[in-house]
Amino acid sequence: MSKLQSPVLPGATLGVLGGGQLGRMFSHAATQMGYRVAVLDPAESGPAAEVSTHHIRSAYDDESGLLELAQLCDAVTTEFENVPAQSLRFLQQHVPVSPAPDAVEIAQSRIREKTFFVQHGIPTNHHCLVVQSADIADAFAQMSGKAVIKTTTLGYDGKGQQVCNSAQEMLKAFESFGAVECLVEDFVAFDAEVSVIIARDIHGNAEVFPVAENQHRNGILDVSIVPARVNDSITEGARKIAHQVADALDYVGVLAIEMFVVGDNLLVNEIAPRPHNSGHYTLDATNYSQFDLQVRMLCGLSPVPIELLKPVVMLNILGDLVLHEKFSWHTLMQDPHAHIHEYGKESARAGRKMAHVNFLGDDAGELLNRAEQFKQLFYPAS
């Protein structure tokens, strides 16, 4: 297995698996620091490829493409969790890879994730596995009257999951997902959703970004508010859980942990072995961004203490907005509080993440109003 012998320094080439917006923002951070970036992605072009030095157009499981990446790079990471763990293991024979394939593999499956939480005493909501239609009635009966069914793999942004109020409804959802293995969990009537991004190095030193409060719309992140409007004990608890998860995984890199706040308690919903949409506020509002830290962790450097410079509200701009007849970037470009990050995607479609805006100012409440007012031009009132 290839391991870092010494820190990888500017001038070296870093590899990233995946060519979406997270790869683009990684590439921006790395190139600013003086690294070259090679993107491996099957698409002809895309958000990351267009801002990177090299683009290897290859399937994620094609060994010749992976070998080319390994030969070109001094260290390799991934921008999304659905890269086959086998591909990461193959790469690891030739070039240092972080996060470790084992950690990525856990985050790829909702049931592996939940099992991991339970094994390590990390609080999570009640759940069970269903593999066939015959399991549904029993699974629903184990929950408290309202439950969520989620495909164990490949679900994202609300896809592959449904809230169910009866076993019949759940059976229908299970069949509509193609009767694939699913996780069933209690519906959580949460007070808030929060997330924490943690960066951990090869020696186990870790730094945590400020806790974000997240609001979703149709299962997709809509806004993140920082500082989160939760009490100190929740903030401290969320940070503690982030350390606990990263340590238990012996994680190297940037890791996101999403949690539900229920009264004074936190329940971990899921983790992502990479920078996360709810950490995009760090591009403008903290002294270092989650992508800066992704680069540093990949290169064997230590994490740096993180400071919040200003309150911030991050608003996701989905295809729904961009396709709206009244949409214009001009409105946002005129707002001195609005920092725009557009991903360079060729086409918009409903639900697709096209850009985000960080509204930066002195008062998070005022920034939230600003984001809400902008959204209301396009979305029906929620």
- Which residues in this chain contact ligand AMP in the complex, by CB under 6 A? 125, 148, 155, 158, 185, 187-188, 193, 216, 219, 258, 269-270
Q: How far is the CB of 99 from ligand AMP (least distance, A)?
A: 19
* Separation CA 38–CA 48 (nearest Å): 9
User: Of 81 and 193, which CB lies nearer to ligand AMP in the complex structure?
Assistant: 193
Nearer to ligand AMP, 152 or 289 (CB): 152
The least CB distance from residue 33 to ligand AMP, in Å, is: 31
H helix intervals, 228-328: 232-248, 282-285, 290-298, 319-322
Closest residue by beta carbon to ligand AMP: 188
For the bound state, the minimum distance from the C-beta of residue 343 to ligand AMP, rounded and expressed in Å, comes to 20
What single string gives the DSSP state of each residue in 310-365?
S-EEEEEEEHHHHTSTT--HHHHHT-TTEEEEE---S---TT-EEEEEEEESS-HH
CB 290 to ligand AMP: min, Å: 18
Q: Which residues pair with 192 in a beta bridge?
A: 261
Residue 103 DSSP SS3:
helix
**Nearest in space to 186 (alpha carbons), one of 161, 218, 214, 163:** 163
Six-digit token string for 195: 């997330």
Which residues are CB-contacts of 35 (< 8 A; sequence separation ≥ 6)? 8, 10, 11, 12, 13, 14, 295, 299
Three-state SS at 202: coil
Query: Are residues 273 and 107 in contact, defined by beta-carbon separation less than 8 angstroms?
Result: yes
194 φ, ψ (degrees, to nearest 5): -130, 160
- Least distance in angstroms from the C-beta of 331 to ligand AMP: 28
Please report, as a single letter, which amino acid is at residue 380.
P
Min dist CB 135 to ligand AMP, Å, is 18
35 or 80, CB closer to ligand AMP? 80
Closer to ligand AMP by Cβ: residue 219 or 344: 219
The residue among 120 and 216 lying less far from ligand AMP, judged by its C-beta, is 216
The answer to whether residues 322 and 382 touch, using CB atoms and an 8 Å cutoff, is: no
Distance in Å, CB of 313 to ligand AMP, minimum: 17
Q: Which one, 212 or 299, has the nearer CB to ligand AMP?
A: 212
Q: Which is nearer to ligand AMP, 13 or 124 (CB)?
A: 124
**Residue of 287, 112, 262 whose CA lies nearest to 199:** 287
Distance of CA 374 to the CA centre of its chain: 24
Tokens of 157: 């942004």
Give 77 or 125: the residue with its C-beta nearer to ligand AMP: 125
